Amino acid sequence: MSTEVIKVNINSKEFEVPKGARLIDVCRDKGFDIPSFCYYSDLALQASCRMCLVRIEKMPKLQTSCTIICTDGMIVTTQSEEIEKAQRSMLEFLLANHPLDCPVCDRGGECELQEMTFDWGGLEERFIEKKNYAPEKYLSPMVANDPQRCILCKRCTRVCDEWMGEDAIEAGGRGANTVIGTYGGWLDCSQCGNCIEVCPTGTLLDGTYRHQARPWELAQTISTCSYCSDGCEMSLGSRAGELMRIVARDRYVNGHNGEFLCIKGRFGHPFVNHEDRLRTPLIRYKKGGKLIPATWDEAIRYTAEKLKAAAAAYGPDALGVVGSPRITNEANYALHKFATEVVGTKNYAATDAFSLKPFFDNLGAPLATHRDIRYAKTILLIGGEPEELQPLTAKQIRQAVSNGAAKLIVINSVPIRLVEHAAQFIHIRPGMENAAVWALGHSSNETTAAQKMGIEANELSALRQTITETEGDVVIMFGGELNAAAQMIVAQLANSFRADTRRVLLHPLPLYNNSVGAHDMGMMNGAMSVAEMLDATGSSIRALYVAGSFLPEHLRGREEALAKLDFLAVHELFETDTTAFADVVLPAASFAEIDGTFTNNDGLVQRVRQSIPPVHQAKPDWMITAALAAELGKDFGFQMSASAVFREIAERIPAYSGLRYPVLKDESNPVQARYNIVEPRDLSSALNELKQTVAALPDDGEKSNVTPRVGHELFKIGTLTDKVSQFHLLAAGNPRPDTVRVSPLYQITVDAKLERDAAVSGD
Amino acid sequence: MFIGAIGCEPLQLARVHLENSRSLDVYRKNGGYQAIKKVLDSMSPDDVINELKKSALRGRGGAGFPTGMKWSFVPKDSPKPKYVVCNADESEPGTFKDRYLMERDPHMLIEGMLIAAYALGAKTNYIYTRGEYRYLIDIMDVALEEARAAGLLGNKILGTEFGCEIYTHTGAGAYICGEETALLSSLEGMRGHPRMKPPFPAVSGLYAAPTVVNNVETLTAVPDIIKMGGEAYQKLGTEKSGGTKVWSVSGHVNRPGVYELPMGYDDMEKFIMEDCGGMLGGKQLKAVIPGGSSVYIMRADQIIGKDVRMDYEGIVAAGSSVGSGGFIVMDETVDVFESTKNLTEFYKHESCGWCTPCREGTDWLVKVFKRIAAGHGRPEDAQLMLDLCDNIEGKSFCPLGDAAAWPIQSAIKRFPEDFRKHLVTSIDSGVST
Amino acid sequence: MSIITDVIQSTKAIIQGMGVTLSYIPKRKWTVQYPEEPVTMQPRYRGQHLLHVDELGKEKCVACFLCAAACPSECIYIIAKDDPRLPADRIGVDERYAEVYNIDYGRCIFCGYCVEACPKDAITHGYNFELSVYNRADLLKTKTDLLITTQVQSKNYRVAFSDEDVDSEYKEI
């Protein structure tokens, strides 16, 4: 949209609007209410509901304001008898075949059709005929469908196509018999549920929340997703201490993700009130004995005593403190403070799949926000698989390409699904992402690297050319495949590509909701990594204090590591492979029960808010740590308030300076942490190091030509998703039941022995 | 069944009576492929378009948009490929002229398309036929194969640098695919939904490239225009609508058939009573739908003694329009309520479901018609139907909504007695809703 | 004032008072011998709520929560449940029903808003009026107490006919 201003006359009032503005947006912005169903900003135009009709002078018929771009001197009438009759008659048409079963419909109370009927509906129904009938059905374990209620605005099909790139639902049939349906009658997609979210009526409904509560009964709390690093803002609907559902509807929450959520964010919440949640602190008084319920006082006292004993016997460095990329900044900060100020150990870390420390230490350009990605002109994706691991990033990439004509360059050893949107796909041998970065680091490396990666050398120069020809934003993203030297080079790449008309932005793709936050809180600065600590158990590490659990990939091949410890204390929600060896298990509160902050992969610091009181005797992680510190003689001074913890974070961590909870209040205006942008670094040693790494890589790897199936990472069963019964169906390949009448979970037998996949990046 | 011209030399129907009229030989012997030769030898694309403009040829699909103008909207400098698409999705009830033109003289269509492709610079052209015309596709394919073998298709047509190809494509039998943008959607392999205009197909049509969509009869008129010159062609008709028009006559006349009349043929009454052999069984004329189902229905007294000229302006002045030229004659035995019900059911069945007023409005109207037919009519139903039509008309996404509303509006206004009969009877018999 | 006048005046007052009392003895008596005799209720009397069933015995309530939303004293608590079975097997008329339907009569003010809000005519006020209990917790009535098929109707009331005049006793005074 240009900055040029034109004049538009709406209802006899002159307005100045930017050139190229859409009439419906302008009218709404200026306070003229225009009803619409099918218009949804940033989706393809539909103009099918015909609710937004306006009169424009010199045009023969009433025009749909959603299709009109304002022109200079346009004279528009949005309110007149003629227009009102047209709008009222459209609503009458929509209601003609719409069943009036609002008392049963889950959308009742937050239904756009209901609201519109209040404003534009007639007092009496003129339609006395029999309504068309179409049976209710389930489209998938997650999505319930009542075709009768459909007004065919097709937001769902457009969202499925444009946001998700899946095209899994489409209209079938013709005329008044048109219904929204799937190919083959069973929804085969990533089950994001965005079709449910954007549906203005009760046609597509959350199958897991079906008939559970009414929207006005739910307390809506705005919070941040606890799964991947995109940090979607969402609204938790709770009632009587139970988390009922999670939505991202505009009417409740207005975060940087809009109404987008993925399957985990939307449906992966039943763990919060699950019956397997730990109820009380547990103590194993004797190695090999049972975990016995205890009081908090006893558990804290016992833990403090054991830690003190271990420190006295082996020195403070024999104690390891392990944080987690899944818990809040406050919790990680408290753990870091506990490790450094209370215990005085240099061995602390967070259980992340990879560390971003080399990246942030050498950061040469700002982090890209998701909005920047949507409007970027060139996107370079090195490794990673955002459509499975960071769905919002993938959605923004897709929209940037299809709605914003951006160029996507994918460097990957696997033809991931995003490749079909890519302008260029550099298909490298497996494990060669470091070589690609090495080649990007200096053009003289291209030939050798290309040979190593199994590609033509001109593919790399074409990439370089695309970037250097870009006017606008270039976003460089990278996954967990890069080693420390490669991360450093990527962080500094901006210096070689920056120009007056070109901004280079960086976007790491860590796996967890607070991977970035765990780094910021200093949990990655310890002397040992998590793997090294586990390897050292029984020798230099004698006791571990762990928040959360170790990742399956950390424990793989180290099954005996935890048994060698003198003492292990764990905060957890559930019993896990880690708690099996724990001497003390402390029940922690989940994200829905606490206040705090998460930092996403944009560097946005976003609030986590308490939706329900902690279940059973659970406590927030930072409170447990603070209690332990108090028992060991150090008062953190947090005074039971998460905001006090955050204030201390803001005081001590430069990137967060000046932040307070009130500053983070507005989720529609998120605050980015101010990371230090370093001066250009000398990369020769990093390049040299990388050269040796690359030279050591075997160059006979087979490239995979198989596009991984939808959900291969997304549907993986982890500790938390394990608690959603529908996930098991999806993980088993989303089989179609023979007769889909209603809730398929009653009809399909889920194999109880479904093997739990050893999830690297589960959850 | 009569096929022939009245009041003029047959142009479109010049060869339909010849034996083997489909074959290339017969077409060539009777002046075929002369026009394309003339075009390739001596005319520039702009000359062709100018000739078309002079001829005052108007689109024969129904809307009557001047063809020369339509062709001139195609941007010359567009880097994209351009397409000529022949709309042979003749699905307007009462219309069957294109079927005879394609069945009896397929090469005339091919020649017309070649000239259009030359004028517009199109290399790929499509003939989009409705699914029910399967056998016509076979005829067209044979004709195209003949033309290809004779060097009239493919590269270097008639030895010149000009080359293009024509492909046939069938729809699945949807009325909406006769609407040009829906036709293009269908041709692209998507659901046959109309698209937003603007952009018009001339700018962004098939595969978002400049595209001209023309009716069969429009394209078959092109060779004659080139042969005789635009002005001569225009003089056959009137100033604003040049040339001849092919009418499909059906209903209660003694001689139904395909009639070629010059534009501006005077007196519709004479046409019915004399040229078409008069009313079947000597009955009284009651109503005429002059241009396919989606135009206003006319009362007999709007025709008899009124000297209705048969061209675009004349019929509009008389209270209807030419449409696609599907001339349906009804005698006194017809109940206009029933015939309108039949048409409305057609429109309900063919509504594509894209926009609200057409989808729900036609469904509602059919339900009202059925209820009245079942004897449950209420006096206020006529007003209800008129109001529903008013709510559909001008508010739908594409013209199908208007097309569904007009027959009902005109039928209720012009034949109120037929409707009153149904509404009043039910009240007398005490049947309540 | 002498003691004699005092006695006379007192006696006069007693006779006067007793006269009024005695004059009522032959008149029609309004006193209801509750609980020996049933109380007559206005047809529109708002007593303990009734949850209704349809002619097939299916609960009419679809757990739409509108009664709870309308309730000014927030005394209605519902837990809705999905009933995915075929209509013949269902508990209610639709695929959602109230698994729990509680009314706290310690809070209820018998305003009747819940009845007005109900889109399915599933809840009405009944005539049971003897709601006093020994334990405050017993004021919470559950679905069994409210459902028309299971609510025990008191023998101590009868409903007046629509043309019956039950208000006259107040009019006379």
Whether chain A lies against chain B with 3 or more Cβ pairs closer than 8 A is: yes
What is the 3-class SS of C39-107, one letter each residue? EEECCCCCCCEEECECCCCCECCCCCCHHHHHCCCCCEEEEEEECCCCHHHCCECCCEEEEEEEEECCC
pLDDT-based confidence at residue C44 (cuts at 50, 70, 90): confident
Q: Which chains touch C (3 or more CB pairs under 8 A)?
A: A
List where CATH 3.40.50.11540 sits in chain B.
Answer: 11-234
Out of A374-378, A682-686, B303-307, C43-47, the most confident range is: A374-378
Task: Give me B18's structure tokens.
Answer: 């010849």
Please provide the average confidence, as pLDDT, over all residues in chain B.
92
Query: What pLDDT, in 10s, does the model give residues A431-483?
Result: 899 999 999 998 888 999 999 999 998 999 999 999 999 999 999 999 999 99
- Give CA–CA dist B273/B107, Å, rounded: 34
Nearest Cα to Cα of residue C118 among C161, C61, C156, C171: C61
Q: What is the pLDDT of residue B69?
A: 94
Residues of A in contact with B433 (CB under 8 A): 128
Cβ density class A483-511: b for 16+ within 10 Å, e for less: ebbbbbbbbbbbebbeeeebbbbbbbbbb
Among B419, B431, B426, smallest CA distance to B389 is for B419
Q: What pLDDT does residue B427 have?
A: 45
* Stretch(es) of chain B classified as CATH 1.20.1440.230: 336-420
* CATH number belonging to the domain at A358-508, selected among 3.40.640.10, 3.40.50.150, 3.40.228.10, 3.30.70.270: 3.40.228.10
| Residue A677 CB neighbours (<10 A) | 11
Mean pLDDT of chain A: 92
Residues of A in contact with B394 (CB under 8 A): 61-62
pLDDT of the residue at C86: 78
Residue A669 has pLDDT above 60, yes or no: yes
Question: Which residue out of A51, A52, A174, A183 would a mutagenesis test of the B interface target, given it has the greatest number of B Cβ atoms within 10 Å?
Answer: A174
Contacts of A104 in chain C (CB under 8 A): 62, 64, 94-96
- Cβ contact A176–B348 (<8 Å): yes
Output phi, psi for C61, to 5 deg: -70, 130
Buried b (16+ CB within 10 A) or exposed e, A355-387: bbebbbbbbbbbbbbbebbbebbbbbbbbbbbb
Candidate from C69, C81, C94 with C-beta closest to A104: C94
Q: How far lies B267's CA from each of A535, A613, B253, B302, C54, in Å?
A: 103, 87, 16, 11, 69
Cβ–Cβ < 8 Å for B227, B35:
yes
Residue corresponding to tokens 């702009």: B46
Contact C119 A102 (CB under 8 A): yes
Q: Which residues of A426-439 are buried (b: 16+ CB within 10 A; e: fewer)?
A: bbbbbebbbbbbbb
Q: What are phi and psi of A472, to 5 degrees?
A: 125, -150
Q: Are B278 and B254 in contact (CB under 8 A)?
A: yes
pLDDT band at A728 (very low <50, low <70, confident <90, very high): confident
- CB within 8 A of A132, min separation 6: which ones? A97, A148, A176, A177, B363
Q: Is C98's Cβ below 8 Å from some Cβ in A?
A: no
Classify the complex by whether its ipTM is higher than 0.85, answering yes or no.
yes
Q: Which two tokens stand for residue B340?
A: 């309108």
Interface size A-B, in CB pairs within 8 Å, comes to 92
How does DSSP assign A425-442, residue by residue?
EEEPPTT-HHHHHHHHH-
Tell me the average pLDDT across B264-290.
93
Contact C156, C34 (CB under 8 A): yes
* pLDDT for the residue A752: 45
Under CATH, to which class is B336-420 assigned?
mainly alpha
**Averaged pLDDT for residues B281-296:** 93
Give all chains having 3 or more CB-to-CB distances under 8 Å with chain B: A
**pLDDT digits 0-9 by tens, B170-215:** 998 899 999 999 999 999 999 899 999 888 999 999 999 999 999 9
Evaluate whether chains C and B are touching (3 or more beta carbon pairs less than 8 Å apart). Answer: no
Enumerate the β-bridge partners of residue A409.
A380, A424
**CB-facing half-sphere around the CA of A433: CA atoms within 13 A:** 25
- Of the listed ranges A303-317, A457-471, A479-493, A728-742, the one predicted with least confidence: A728-742
What integer pLDDT is reported at residue C169 of this predicted model? 55
What b/e string do you get for C53-66 counting C-beta neighbours within 10 Å, with b at 16 or more? beeeebbbbbbbbb
Type of residue numbered B223:
P
Backbone angles phi, psi at A9, to 5 degrees: -105, 115
Check A108 against C64: CB less than 8 A apart.
Answer: yes
User: pLDDT of A123-150, one tens digit each?
Assistant: 888 999 999 988 888 888 889 999 999 9
A359 to A484, A506, A508, B291: CA distances (angstroms): 8, 10, 9, 73
Taking the Cβ of residue B200 and every Cβ of chain A, the question of whether any pair is shorter than 8 Å is answered with: no
The verdict on residue C11 lying in a domain is: no
Q: How close A138 gets to chain C, by Cα (Å)?
A: 11
Of the pLDDT bands very low, low, confident and very high (cuts 50, 70, 90), residue C70 is very high
Please indicate whether, in this complex, the C-beta atoms of C64 and A210 are within 8 angstroms of each other.
Answer: no
- Calpha distance B142→B379 (Å, rounded): 57
SS3 C141: strand
Instruction: Judge whether C96 is closer than 8 Å to chain A, CB to CB.
Output: yes
Confidence of residue C85 (pLDDT cuts 50, 70, 90): confident
Half-sphere exposure of A542 (CA within 13 A, CB side): 15
What CATH homologous superfamily does B11-234 map to? NADH-ubiquinone oxidoreductase 51kDa subunit (3.40.50.11540)
- Higher per-residue confidence, C164 vs B35: B35
Fill in the DSSP letter of residue A162: I
Alpha-carbon gap, residue A192 to A169, rounded angstroms:
12
Distance of CA A450 to the CA centre of its chain: 34
E strands along A407-530, which residues? 407-412, 424-427, 472-478, 502-508
Taking contacts as CB-CB distances below 8 angstroms, the residues of chain B near A128 are: 433
H or E segment to which residue B109 belongs:
helix B106-120
Q: For the segment C145-158, what is each residue's pLDDT rounded down to a tens digit? A: 999 999 999 999 99
- Cα-only R_g, chain B: 22
CATH 3.10.20.600, chain B: domain bounds: 244-331
* Domain A5-93 CATH assignment equals 3.40.50.720: no
How confident is the model at residue B426, as a pLDDT?
A: 47
CATH 3.40.50.740 fits A282-350+515-672, yes or no: yes
User: What is the pLDDT, as a whole number, of residue A299?
Assistant: 97
CB neighbours of residue B156 within 10 Å: 10
State the CATH number of the domain containing residue C122: 3.30.70.3270
Count structural domains, chain C. Answer: 1
| C117-167 pLDDT, tens digit each | 999 999 999 999 999 999 999 999 999 999 999 999 999 999 988 787 776
Question: What is the end-to-end Cα distance of chain B in Å, rounded?
Answer: 46
Residues A531-557, mean pLDDT to the nearest whole number: 93
Nearest-CA distance from B365 to chain A in Å?
10
For A314, phi then psi, to 5°, come to -120, 0
Domain ranges of chain A: 5-93, 282-350+515-672, 358-508
Q: Is A94 on the interface with B (CB under 8 A)?
A: yes
3-state secondary structure of A176: helix
Total CB pairs under 8 A between chain A and C: 43
Task: Write down the pLDDT at residue A137.
Answer: 82
Residue A328 has a pLDDT of 97
Question: Closest by alpha carbon to B403, among B311, B297, B261, B258?
Answer: B297
Domain annotation covers residue C104: yes
Is a pLDDT exceeding 90 seen at residue C8? yes
DSSP bridge partners of B128: B87, B169
Closest-CA residue to B383 (of B391, B373, B395, B375): B391
Q: Please say whether the beta carbons of B56 and B241 come within 8 A.
A: yes
pLDDT at A747 over 70: no
pLDDT, residue A702, reads 87
Question: Cβ–Cβ contacts within 10 Å for residue C26, how many?
Answer: 6
Is the pLDDT score of A65 beyond 70?
yes
Looking at beta carbons, which residues of chain A come within 8 Å of B352? 174-175
A130–chain B nearest CA distance, Å: 8
Residue that the structure tokens 């769905």 belong to:
A391
- The amino acid at A496: S
What does residue B167 show for φ and ψ, rounded to 5 degrees? -120, 150
Residue A540 to residue A560: CA distance in whole angstroms: 16
**% chain B with pLDDT above 90:** 85
Of all residues in chain A, the percent with pLDDT exceeding 70 is 96
The pLDDT of residue A738: 66
The answer to whether residue C2 sits within a structural domain is: no
List the CATH code of the domain at B244-331: 3.10.20.600
CA distance B415 to B334: 11
Q: Enumerate residues 15 to 54 of chain A having a beta carbon within 8 A of any beta carbon in chain B.
A: 45, 47-51, 53
pLDDT above 50: residue A519: yes
pLDDT digits (tens, 9 = 90+) for A500-512: 999 999 999 999 9
Taking chain C, what is the end-to-end CA distance rounded to the nearest angstrom? 37
Q: What number is the average pLDDT over the span B308-332?
A: 93
Q: Which of B358, B363, B389 is the best substitution to test chain A (most A C-beta atoms within 10 A)?
A: B363
For residue A201, pLDDT beyond 90? yes
Radius of gyration of chain C (CA): 25
pTM of the model: 0.90
Please name the residue that has the structure tokens 């019964």.
A725
What pLDDT does residue C168 have?
Answer: 58
The answer to whether residue A151 scores a pLDDT higher than 70 is yes
Q: Is the pLDDT of residue C71 over 90?
A: yes
Q: What is the mean pLDDT of residues B3-21?
A: 91
Q: Are C64 and A212 in contact (CB < 8 Å)?
A: no
Q: Of A86, A97, A129, which has the smallest distance from its Cβ to B371's Cβ? A: A129
Chain A residues closer than 8 Å to C119 by CB: 102-103
Chain A positions in Cβ-Cβ contact with residue C80 (cut-off 8 Å): 211-214
d(CA A450, CA A250): 47
pLDDT score of A741 more than 70: no
| Dihedral sign (CA A185, A188, A189, A190) | positive
C-beta atoms surrounding A25 within 10 Å: 16
Which of B350, B355, B368 is opposite residue A48, by nearest beta carbon? B355
Q: What are chain A's partners, defined as 3 or more CB pairs within 8 angstroms? A: B, C
The pair phi, psi for residue B213, each rounded to 5°, is -110, 120
Query: For residue B198, is the peptide bond before it cis, meaning its omega torsion is within 30 degrees of 0?
Result: yes
* Mean per-residue pLDDT, C97-116: 95
Q: Are the beta carbons of A357 and A675 closer than 8 angstroms?
A: no
A640 pLDDT more than 90: no
**Residues A102, C95: C-beta atoms closer than 8 Å:** no
From its phi and psi, is residue A522 left (phi > 0), alpha (psi between -120 and 50) or beta?
A: left
- Quickly state the pLDDT bin for A70 (edges 50, 70, 90): very high
At a CB cut-off of 8 Å and minimum separation 6, what does A179 contact?
A134, A147, A150, A171, A172, A173
Give A636's contacts (C-beta < 8 A, 6+ positions apart): A334, A337, A625, A626, A629, A630, A645
